[in-house]
Structure 1
Amino acid sequence: MKRTTPRPLLGALLLALSLGSVGAAAADANGQPPGKRSSRTGGELIRAAAEVVAVDHATRTLTLKREDGNTLTVVADGRVRNLPQVSVGDIVVAQYGHARALSLKKPAVARHDAENAPPPVRMADGRVRRTIVADIIAIDDRTGQATLKSTKGEVVDVVVSKRKLLAAVRIGDQVELEYTDAVAVAIKPAGKAVPARRSAAP
């Protein structure tokens, strides 16, 4: 059973890279075609054009603003060798794996609220574990994926490997999510600005 809004779970949240020049810039370090699963990252890679709104070179953490206006945090792994050249304001094509849920709890059993979530923790393998309070905005039971929007406005696409956790929640629920950040394997200049969202004339 698929519980989701009419728009695709990820497609409506990520900018489609249909322009040839952007698609060329998006080729990953391994030369893999779009959509091919990578055994080294443990799942399907996502490509999206975005603006860099924050970058911490010491921790290799970036915050990206996508075409829909939402932000995404990724950790660049060792394959992103051009990270020192990435700056705030750059328009890039990022290629990354899904964030992964470690726990998903309703408020009744959650340990934290939106104001008292613990700080991020860097794990031994370089991944960052975060805990947020967020609303579920999409669920795909077939793939085990969920999309959540935090109280701070950040959107997180996660894979929930424990299906019983996903079965216990529904769209619209506010939950406490503990997860590891998405890991980027390539971040390259896009060469084109992320287009502004269109709005109806008053």
Structure 2
Amino acid sequence: MSHHFLLSRPLVLAALLATGAACMAPAVHAEGSAPSPRKTRSGSVEMIRSVLEVVSVDEKSRRLSLKRDDGNTLSLVASPSVRNIGQIHGGDFVVAEYGRAQAVSIKRISGNGAGNEGKTPPAPPAKGKTATARNAKVVHSIVADIIAIDDKKGFATLKGSKDNVIDVVVTDRKALAAVKIGDQVRLDYTDAVAISLKPARSKR
């Protein structure tokens, strides 16, 4: 009987190993479905990834207007890592991965002026530094309503009069604490930047 037990042990061990390998095998997901909006991280910057409809593309400035599921639009600037911008056209659906716009300042105001937008030229570079396409950021100014705030992460979402939505990171937590949802504010901000724009395999 002990001889039979010794012969069976390798068979039992092989069966256990096969079972463990099956448990550790990665799950296979069906391809072709549109990814739901999700948040990933690129370095220390939290990125947003979702399927958006292209409204317009300015290839020269690399600026795109994109429509979200809720019908609101957002504006993104394609980073140098996006090399297929010439192949993207209005009406296309893309899987966009992008970071939030950066708030330079945010202040509550009174009166009606939502949607008034302008541009402020970038500050001159510090001595010893050469201005490049990467650091010569344009600061935009808009009057809009706050529709969402995440105090923990320092995020805010604002909506202008033309259904344009801006997701911003507000590093000045005191300024963020001084405003609330429903307030009309003047926001100075730099562009949200897309690091990837890929054709969507299916519409949303």
- TM-score range, shorter-chain basis? 0.7 to 0.9
Contact 1:127-1:183 within 8 A present in 2 as well:
no
Distance between the aligned counterparts of 1:192 and 1:165, measured in 2? 41
Which of 57, 76, 92 is the equivalent residue of 1:55? Answer: 57
Which residue does the alignment assign to 1:145? 155
Q: Which runs of 4+ in 1 moved over 3 A?
A: 112-117, 119-124
Deviations 1:120-141 (A, max 9, x none): 6578525442111110111111
Which of 69, 72, 77 is the equivalent residue of 1:70? Answer: 72
Contact 1:75-1:181 within 8 A present in 2 as well:
yes
CA deviation after TM superposition for structure 1 residue 72, in Å: 0.8
CA deviation after TM superposition for structure 1 residue 117, in Å: 3.4
Paired residues for 1:1-202 under 5 Å: 20-22=31-33, 35-39=39-43, 42-107=44-109, 113-114=113-114, 117-119=117-119, 121=121, 124-125=133-134, 127-194=137-204
Distance between the aligned counterparts of 1:115 and 1:143, measured in 2? 26
CA deviation after TM superposition for structure 1 residue 107, in Å: 1.5
Which residue does the alignment assign to 2:9? none
Q: Which runs of 5+ in 2 are unaligned?
A: 1-28, 124-132
Which residue does the alignment assign to 2:3? none
Partner letter of residue 21 of structure 1? Answer: G
Distance between the aligned counterparts of 2:33 and 2:99, measured in 1? 19
CA deviation after TM superposition for structure 1 residue 193, in Å: 2.0
TM-score, normalised to structure 1, is: 0.73
Distance between the aligned counterparts of 1:115 and 1:73, measured in 2? 14
Call closer, same or farther: CA 1:162–1:115 in 2, change over 3 Å: closer
Distance between the aligned counterparts of 1:115 and 1:100, measured in 2? 18
CA deviation after TM superposition for structure 1 residue 191, in Å: 2.0
Deviations 1:114-167 (A, max 9, x none): 475324657852544211111011111101101111122111111100001101
Distance between the aligned counterparts of 1:53 and 1:82, measured in 2? 16
Q: How many matched pairs?
A: 165
Deviations 1:156-190 (A, max 9, x none): 11110000110110111000111111100000000
